[in-house]
Structure formats: C-alpha cells, structure tokens
C-alpha cells in the first residue's frame, strides 16, 4: 500500500508539465560590456528605451529597426551618435529574439526613457566584474589570478612557458600512445 501511494505521488508530481522544474544556471558576466548594468550574472539582451534599440550580448551586436526590418550591427547607427551607452538606461531581457515583441518592450520600459540612474559594470567594485577587459580593476585581477595560479601549482613545475607546454604535450602523447596500444591489442 505504501509503495502504491509513493508511486501515485511520483506520477502526479513528475507526470504533470506544471510540476516539472527545469533548473539551469547561466552566467555570462565575462561577455557583458562594461557599460552594462550591474546585478546580472546573465544577460542575453539589453533594451535601450531612449533609442528603442536592443543589444545582443553573445554576439556584441546592436539590433536596430532599419528599412522595415531588424538589422544586427556592430555599432549604433550615426543617428544615435550623441547618445552615451554608459549613461543610458538599459533593461536586461533574457528571452529569445525580444525584438519580435518590440512593441511590448517599448511600452513596458517607456517610463525609463531619459533616466540615468543605473550603476554600470565599469563603476562597480564587485570583484566578479573584474574579469571584464575594460574594467578599471581588470589588470589587478589578472595579476592576482596569476599569483593564485602559482600558489595552487603544487606539482613543482616551474620554468618557462615553452617547457611547460612541452611537458603537457608529452603527457597527452603518452595518453594517445596508450590508447593506440590498447586498440591494437583489442583491449578497448
């Protein structure tokens, strides 16, 4: 009887689509521009209410309405040359192709037009943003990361870069030789 109740409970929980939960963790801090807003470990798109333009973070492209269609561009059109990416308000949108629902986002974020109240990544003192090349603390982060790497290197390998690469290649070649030997002897 107990097994039957457990089976029914599992079926009810896992059997209904509403009860299924997908847990995923996306982080792309290192791909976000330094003019992006702080507080987001993941951002797929930014929307700029001031100029009615989207920015696709993974490809570093602006998505602009031009000639009756959405165009992906590496820079903003000339007509927006007086706008400052560091000061404009940006909304993060984690949805596939939000520009296809442009009117919805335009209306939703209209109250943020001409607001300049966001802290940007460049001005953040949170160390998670130091990975970004344009962040003022980036070089310090690189130095500290290098120091931490040396401290963690417990195998005693020192010397120059070429020597370390040669050692790594030797290790890999030994692994391939072992695989080849195993295949020839029918062990794999």
Summarised one tens digit per residue, pLDDT across range 115-148 is 888 988 888 888 777 887 887 778 888 888 775 5
The pLDDT of residue 177 is 42
Contacts of 128 (CB under 8 A, 6+ apart): 29, 41
86 vs 61: CA distance, rounded Å: 16
User: pLDDT category, 22, cuts 50, 70, 90?
Assistant: very low
- Is it the case that residue 49 has pLDDT exceeding 50? yes
Looking up tokens 């120059």, which residue turns up? 160
**pLDDT > 90: percent of the chain:** 39
The pLDDT of residue 88 is 94
Q: What are phi and psi of 17, to 5 degrees?
A: -60, -30
CB atoms near residue 155 (< 10 Å): 7
Q: Is the pTM of this model over 0.75?
A: no
Per DSSP, the three-state class of 61 is: strand
Per DSSP, the three-state class of 60 is: coil
The pLDDT of residue 180 is 40
| Mean pLDDT of the 14-26 span | 46
């Amino acid at each position: 009887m107990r097994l039957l109740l457990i089976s029914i409970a599992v079926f009810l929980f896992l059997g209904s689509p509403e009860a299924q939960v997908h847990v995923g963790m996306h982080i792309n801090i290192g791909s976000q521009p330094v003019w992006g807003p702080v507080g987001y470990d993941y951002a797929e798109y930014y929307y700029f209410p001031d100029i009615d333009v989207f920015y696709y973070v993974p490809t570093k492209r602006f998505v602009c309405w031009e000639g009756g269609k959405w165009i992906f561009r590496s820079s903003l059109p000339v007509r927006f040359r007086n706008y400052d990416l560091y000061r404009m308000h940006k909304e993060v949108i984690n949805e596939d192709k939000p520009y296809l629902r442009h009117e919805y986002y335009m209306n939703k974020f209209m109250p943020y037009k001409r607001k300049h109240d966001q802290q940007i990544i460049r001005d953040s003192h949170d160390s998670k943003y130091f990975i970004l090349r344009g962040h003022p603390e980036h070089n310090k982060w690189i130095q500290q990361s290098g120091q931490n790497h040396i401290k963690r290197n417990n195998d005693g390998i020192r010397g120059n870069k070429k020597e370390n690469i040669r050692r790594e290649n030797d290790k890999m070649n030994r692994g391939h030789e072992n695989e080849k030997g195993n295949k020839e002897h029918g062990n794999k």
